[in-house]
Amino acid sequence: MQKLAYTLLIGVYLGLAAYWMTEWVVWPLAAVTLMIGFAALVFSRSSQYLDITANKVLLHLNRKFSECEESAELILLPSRSLTTLQQLQKTRIQPQLDTLLSTDLGSHLPRYSCKSALLLSALAVLIFTLIEVLPLDLLRKVETANTPLINKAPKQSKLIRLETKSMTVTPPSYTGLAAWQTTDLNLELIAGSIVTWQLQLIGIDNVNQQNDVSIMLPDKQSISLIEKTANHYQARATLNQSGVYYIAVNNIMLGDIHTLAVTADTKPTIRFIAPTETITKLAKNAIPKVQATISVEDDYGIGRVEILASISSGSGEAVKFRDQTFLFDSESMIEDKAHFFKSWDLVELGMQPGDELYFSIKAWDNRQPTAQQSRSASKIIRWLEDEQQGVLSDGVLMDFMPEYFKSQRQIIIETKELIADKNTLSVAQFDRTSRDLGAAQSFLKQKYGQFLGDEFDSGTLHSMEAGPEIEHDDHDEHANEASQTQQASAHEHDNAEQAPEGADKSGYSQIIEQFGHAHGEADDGNFIKKGIPSPKLLMKRAIANMWQAELHLQLSEPELALPFETQALAFLNRAKQADRIYVKRLGFEPPPVSEKRRYQGDLSDIISYQRDEKTSADNGPTKAMAILANMLTNHSKQLNGLPLTGEQKNTLEHVKAYFSAQLTANPKDITFIATLEKIQQADSFTLENCQDCINLLTEKLWQTLPSPIAAPSTRQTSYSPQNTVLQKYQAFLQQHEKTYKKESQP
């Protein structure tokens, strides 16, 4: 009855709500009837109702009345199935149980009051009847008379409606883009664009005669909407920052939160097409002319481009520098990219053999009012003073090794540039550049090889590759063939008799003695410690990778050479770190403690055998994003409809601050900031007008979070060091050891 009464109360409230919305009396009656019928059906089929049986009623009587002697359930069993003792007990309690059942047991059964539910139902019906019967004017007079000092502002978001909207976006004039219109309040535009809002508000006259309509931009900037005609408002602003905004009427938000995704103008990008190398060398007798080709790109056009050059002449302390600014000779558009050309005549520049020309490129875009500037890396043109050639022992001309070595990192950078420019270069230029990089890799390999004792004399290598030189005379070859065969047989016979047991029969030692250099036995210095390679071993591995990189570069395969170059650089860096080895200083070494003095320390100052240290908690945005992502993923159903707590609000602020800091690099992240703003405005994680916003925000959070780092943990032991029993046992052992030592002393 109690459950049915409360069901009636719920049904009455649902029925009144249905009548209030539809003003149709059939819906409340149907709601009450269906609720009571459904509740009766559910309660009659519920496990609690079906669990009430005669056997359990008799068990309740056993607990309540002592005269039943815990045997009331025997009356339900047939006498044939009872034992003799059970039949005697049944005959004994039968009269007492009949007397008990004949009396009123209502006072001994549990009672549940249903008066409160019935009174609340009657009160709801009475209030509803009074509201419907009394005139509306009378209610207004009573309200005015009773509450003269209360003036609640109506919810303008429901009274006012945004009927039409039109936004005109005018990009900056230097971009050359035309203005465009849209009806979407979420805007994506270029920095410096002028946005004009034209809005029509319906129902605003019913609020106040004078209303303050404004647009709240990021960083709490406010722009007033000016009423042009009746209910038609207009505003204009120049936007340079991404963020969220909303329309407000009398400082109360109207509608939803909207986004502004502002894309900043990027700086010009400068790329050298020729020369590709950092240093370009010209021989003394070569034609002193160099052609420079540069590609410059910008998103909205290039303002101007110029060359900053510096000419150095002389050497040592007498070196002089002369700075000049040049313009390009010509420019053209190739594949929608601006290419600039400059032909350097070193004689016209007043240069002589031995001088050097340093130049870099500066480019400005046409952004207004302040143009953006970019500057390229410097290139060097070196006019050699002496011929850099020598004659080997075999008479072949060979260039000496240059004084300038490209670092391994520079070789990697130029290899990547070569791979990127593969489609723009001709086959001959690509092959020549790749072979030049291979030569640079070979020079660097030889330089590092000198530290390991390798010998890179070109004549020696050439002779070893050609093989041993065997002198013979064609005229005497057949005449001496028989004698040579006879001498060889005798020589083999003598060796077979006189060769010691440990002699090298493979001929390896003889070849090394004839064509190689005996440096003695190599010491085993591959590892400093167990598992830690020495710098020498790491350098050997780096040189081995340089061999492979040089091979692929000489074959015009820079894509295959790049992994070996990267691996060589990694080994070189490891060799630098491995060389920094701590060498223990020789100092005072105290004598070892004798056995008699061991375990004699004073432990009275040790308060605890265990020390706990707390790691500093990460309170940055990463922790906030992890908390919010876990909250939205695992507890989304529990959070629906609940107001935000103080901790949740702080978490939202941290996450919003992180996305705001990333807006310059990722303007489209403004969508997630808008979602966070909507959650804060609604004071709940339930958003009515945005079903997928929470899901998209959750996916973005999981994508942004870095890989988790395992937290430090203590070693798992089967006992606790703070156990008092263990401490007492340890003290007992120490005392026992002291006693044993005293007794053992003579």
Q: What is the pLDDT of residues 153-175, one digit of tens each?
A: 334 445 677 877 889 999 999 88
Tell me the CATH number at 290: 2.60.40
Across the chain, mean pLDDT equals: 74
pLDDT of amino acid 398:
40
- Looking at the fold, whether 409 and 540 belong to one and the same domain comes out as yes
Last residue of a domain, one of 214, 234, 263: 263
Q: Which segment, 320-324, 332-336, 383-387, 525-529, is predicted with the most confidence on average?
A: 320-324
pLDDT of 511: 56
Which pair of structure tokens corresponds to residue 125?
């019906």
* 375 and 419 both lie in a single domain: no
Confirm whether 331 is domain-assigned: yes
Reported pTM: 0.46
Judge whether 691 lies within some domain: yes
Q: Are residues 285 and 247 in the same domain?
A: no
The answer to whether residue 492 sits within a structural domain is no
How far is residue 698's CA from residue 648's CA, in Å, rounded to a whole number? 15
At CA 669, angle to CA 668 and CA 670, rounded to 5?
A: 85
Please state the separation of Cα 21 from the chain's center in Å. Answer: 51
Same domain? For 281 and 233 the reply is: no
Shared domain for 26 and 104, answered yes or no, is yes
Q: Give CA–CA dist 392/375, Å, rounded.
A: 44
Tell me, yes or no, whether 55 and 187 share the same domain.
no
Spatial CB neighbours of 186, under 8 Å, sequence gap ≥ 6: 258, 259, 261, 674
The structure tokens 């390991």 sit at 452
Beta-sheet pairing, 213-217 with 221-224: antiparallel
Which residues have a Cβ under 8 Å from the Cβ of 720 and sit 6 or more positions away?
726
User: Which pLDDT score, from 0 to 100, does residue 569 have?
Assistant: 92
For the domain that residue 202 is a member of, what is the CATH number? 2.60.40.10
Angstrom distances, CA of residue 133 to CA of 138, 141, 585: 11, 16, 103
Beta-carbon neighbour count of residue 730 at 10 Å?
A: 13
Average pLDDT over residues 538-542: 89
In residues, how long is the chain? 746
Q: Which two tokens stand for residue 613?
A: 């240290």
CA distances 498 to 354, 491, 494, 502, Å, are 66, 11, 6, 12
The label of the residue with tokens 């007498």 reads 318
For 514-531, letters b (16+ CB in 10 Å) and e give eeeeeeeeeeeeeeeeee
Q: Which domain covers residue 372, as residue numbers?
A: 269-387
Q: Please tell me the number of Cα atoms within 13 Å of 516 on its side-chain side.
A: 10
Residues 13 and 105 in one domain: yes
Q: Give strand pairing partners of 340.
A: 294, 331
Give yes or no for residue 717 having a pLDDT over 70: no
**Residue 253's pLDDT band (cuts 50, 70, 90):** confident
Decide if 644 is inside a domain: yes
Burial class (CB in 10 A: 0-12, 13-18, 19+), 625: buried
Closest CA to 28 of 50, 12, 42: 12
| Run of H or E including 18 | helix 2-22
Mean pLDDT on 696-725: 73
What would the two tokens of residue 598 be? 């061991």
| pLDDT, tens only, 104-133 | 665 555 555 556 656 666 666 666 666 555
Instruction: With respect to residue 609, please indicate whether it lies within any of the assigned structural domains.
Output: no
pLDDT (tens digit per residue) in 350-397? 998 989 999 999 999 998 888 999 999 899 999 988 654 443 333 333
Confidence of residue 314 (pLDDT cuts 50, 70, 90): confident
- pLDDT tier, 141 (very low <50, low <70, confident <90, very high otherwise): very low
More confident residue, 194 or 632: 194
The first and second tokens of residue 568, run together, are 């060589």
8-state DSSP, 237: E
pLDDT at 245 over 80: yes
Q: What 3-state class would DSSP assign to 356?
A: strand
Q: Phi and psi at residue 181, in whole multiples of 5°?
A: -120, 155
Domain count, the chain: 5
What strands lie across the sheet with 221-224, from one edge to the other?
A: 187-190, 252-263, 243-249, 213-217, 221-224
* pLDDT (average), residues 618-630: 78
Contact 9/120 with Cβ under 8 angstroms?
A: yes
Q: With contact defined as beta carbons under 8 Å apart, do 246 and 260 qualify?
A: no
In a domain, 558, yes or no: yes
CA distances 285 to 350, 352, 388, Å, are 16, 11, 12
Q: Is residue 576 part of a domain?
A: yes
Query: How high is the pLDDT of residue 361?
Result: 95
Same domain, 318 and 361: yes
Establish whether the linkage from the previous residue to 353 is cis, with ω within 30° of 0: no
Cα-Cα-Cα-Cα torsion 144, 146, 149, 154, nearest 10 degrees, comes to: -50
Q: What pLDDT does residue 330 have?
A: 92
Give the residue with greater pLDDT, 245 vs 499.
Answer: 245
* pLDDT tens, residue by residue, 648-669: 888 888 888 888 888 877 878 8
Q: Is 37 in the same domain as 69?
A: yes
Whether residue 215 contacts residue 245, with contact meaning beta carbons closer than 8 Å, is answered with yes
Are residues 196 and 98 located together in one domain of the fold? no
Lowest mean pLDDT among 128-137, 151-160, 245-254, 460-469: 460-469
Q: Pairing relation of β-strands 337-345 and 289-297?
A: antiparallel
Tell me the residue type at 387.
E
- For residues 674 and 574, membership in a common domain is answered with no
Tokens 């009074």 — which residue?
Answer: 130
Give the pLDDT of residue 8.
Answer: 59
Contacts of 449 (CB under 8 A, 6+ apart): 456, 543
Q: Is residue 151 part of a domain?
A: no
3 state SS of 180? strand
Cis peptide before 275 (omega within 30 of 0): yes
The more confident residue out of 25 and 435 is 435
What is the rounded average pLDDT of the residues 182-211? 83
b/e map 180-200, b = 16+ CB within 10 Å: eeeeebbbbbbbbbebebbbb
Query: CA 171, CA 258: separation in Å to the nearest integer?
Result: 20
End-of-domain residue from the set 549, 564, 581: 581
What interhelical angle do 2-22 and 26-45 show, nearest 10?
150
- Residues 253, 176, single domain; the answer is yes
Residue 142 has pLDDT above 50, yes or no: no
Measured between alpha carbons, how far is 274 from 291 in angstroms, rounded to an integer? 7
CA–CA dist 195, 184 (Å, integer): 12
Structure-model confidence comparison of residues 478 and 176, the more confident one: 176
Mean pLDDT, to the nearest integer, of 518-529? 47
Asked if the model's pLDDT at residue 564 lies above 90, the reply is yes
